[in-house]
Structure formats: C-alpha cells, structure tokens
Structure 1
C-alpha cells in the first residue's frame, strides 16, 4: 500500500492491528524502562489515530443512517482517552498500571471490532475509492504532524471532559 493510494479504511484497519500488537508488547514486557518506552509509543499511536478519526474520518463518513454509530464511537474514544490519560500519569510499577492497561486494551479491541464490522463496510457506499484515498492521505498527514509536534498522548489529558463533537 503506497502512500499515494492509501485508502482511509485500510489505513485505519492496519493501525488497529499495529496498535493491538503494541499494546500486547507493553503488557508482556517485564522491564520497567522498556514498558515505559513501549507504552509511550502505543499512547502516541492511539492519540493520533483517535484524533484523525474524530477530526477527519467520522465527519467525512457522517450520514443519517450511521450517525448513531459515530456518536457511540466518539463516546468510546472518550473512554479510551480517559484511560490513556490515567496511564500517562502512572509509572509502570504502579499497582494499577497493569489493570488499566488491560482495560484499555480490551476497550480498544472492542472499538476496533465495532468499527470494522459495522462502520467500515458502509464507507464504500458513501465515498468513492478516490475520496477514500484522499481522506487516507489527509489522515496520515495529520497523524504525522501530531507526531512531529511530540508526545501526542500528553494532549489527550486535556480531552477527557466530554466526547468530541461530530462535525
């Protein structure tokens, strides 16, 4: 999949699998410093993924028949952000770190499954391949910009008051 032709749905699905694998590595690590490093990477990926869905993907695929599903997804994002914010503040040696990490992992996997089974199959009906590819490029550009700004997971701490709006 070249950057010139990155379908938005394919981008999100590949990011789901990468995020799940990274969260598994965090959970399996017995080394405190490695766990911190892996969690920082996973948190940054999760934060940029959520931001690109909220700001670009969801508004682009909003349609009357899927608005309820999108609103539910935004509430799930809020829950993920709250867990991520909690984890950012914790040391991996904290007794609640593993429990919160497990809940974050389970909620992320549930969210990914819901999107992939119910929302993503609708997208080709709403957007052409060219539109999905343009959206994919736009989402990747936003994610890369957030990464360049540094530590996107830290910004999530300020986004836990309410779900993002569905613009």
Structure 2
C-alpha cells in the first residue's frame, strides 16, 4: 500500500467518493430489491466510515486542535445515524424510504464537503505525512475489523441518543 493510500485524509476522501457513488446507485435503483441490496451495502460502508472517524481519526486530530470542526462533524454523524436507523427499519419500496434516503444522501454530501473544505486542510497542516499514514493504517485496521464482524450497519441503532464524544 502506498503512502497516498494510507494517508488518513486521502483514505477518507476516497471513501467519500465511493459512498457518494453508491448512494447515487441506490437512488437510481429500479426495483425495491435492488434498492435494498445497494442500501445495505451503503449503510455498512457509511457506518464503518463514521465509526472509524469517531474512534480513530477525530480523537487523533482533536489533539491537533480542531475541536470546533470536530464537534460539528460529530453532530452531523448523529443525524446520519438517526437517518440510517430509520431507513434500516423501512421497506425500500415505501415512499417514506425514498424521501428519507434523499435527506441522508444530501446530508452525507454536505458532511463530506464540510470535512474536505475545513477539517482536512487543517489536518494536513497539523499532521505530517508519516503521522497521517499511521493514522490511515489504524483506520483501515478498524474498518476491516468492523466489516469482518459482519453487518456493521446494525450498530447505529444503539447510537442515536447523543453524538459521540471526543474524549
């Protein structure tokens, strides 16, 4: 794996594009069955991404004094988790699913823009390439572990009361 692939910021940006691509596929699915299969994949990917940011990335960059951006990002994660929870309980053929999914997609894209425009440039200034590479490797390990445990999307159901903490 190259440094660019393990750089935490590059890893997150790559995952942002993959989630956006997958969410567009869900939105364009022609049948409820296809929508459900694609959404399940998207929900797992989004959950793994969110959890690795909350458990690894945000605590590491919090030490680098980016608290305001991180607190906002954690609140956005809470909103995404609540939408995921609701969507996981709905039938993809339900009209409510479509409306709620549109909101999830829009909020996900907004969250990505916020991180890429504000948080990530600060992280690039505050952490050198070796630190970002180590952080990226730790995040990948966390993501692989969560994925191997199976159905990571199920964990968000119990994480919708309050935003994750930075400490």
Give the TM-score normalised by the residue count of structure 1: 0.96
142-151 or 4-13: bigger deviation: 4-13
Measured against aligned partners, the alpha-carbon deviations of 1:75-101 in whole angstroms (never above 9, x if no partner) come to 000000000000011110112000010
* TM superposition shift of 1:125: 2.0
Secondary structure of residue in 2 paired with 1:47: helix
RMSD value over aligned CA atoms? 1.5
CA contact (8 A) 1:4 1:137 kept: no
State the partner residue of 1:19: 19
User: Which ranges of structure 1 fall in alignment gaps of 5 or more residues?
Assistant: none
Aligned equivalents of 2:29 and 2:37: distance in 1?
A: 10
Paired residues of 2:3 and 2:133 also in contact (CA < 8 A): no
Is the 2:64–2:126 contact (alpha carbons within 8 Å) kept by the matching residues of 1?
Answer: no
1:128, CA displacement in angstroms? Answer: 1.4
- Counterpart mapping for 1:38-49 below 5 A: 38-49=38-49
Gaps of 5+ in 2: none
The structural deviation recorded for 1:3 is: 7.7
Aligned to 1:119: 119
Indicate how the Cα distance of structure 1 residues 130 and 5 shifts in structure 2: closer, same or farther if over 3 A, else same.
Answer: farther
The runs of 4+ residues in structure 1 deviating greater than 6 Å are none
User: Following the alignment from structure 1 to structure 2, what is the Cα–Cα distance between the partners of residues 5 and 42?
Assistant: 21
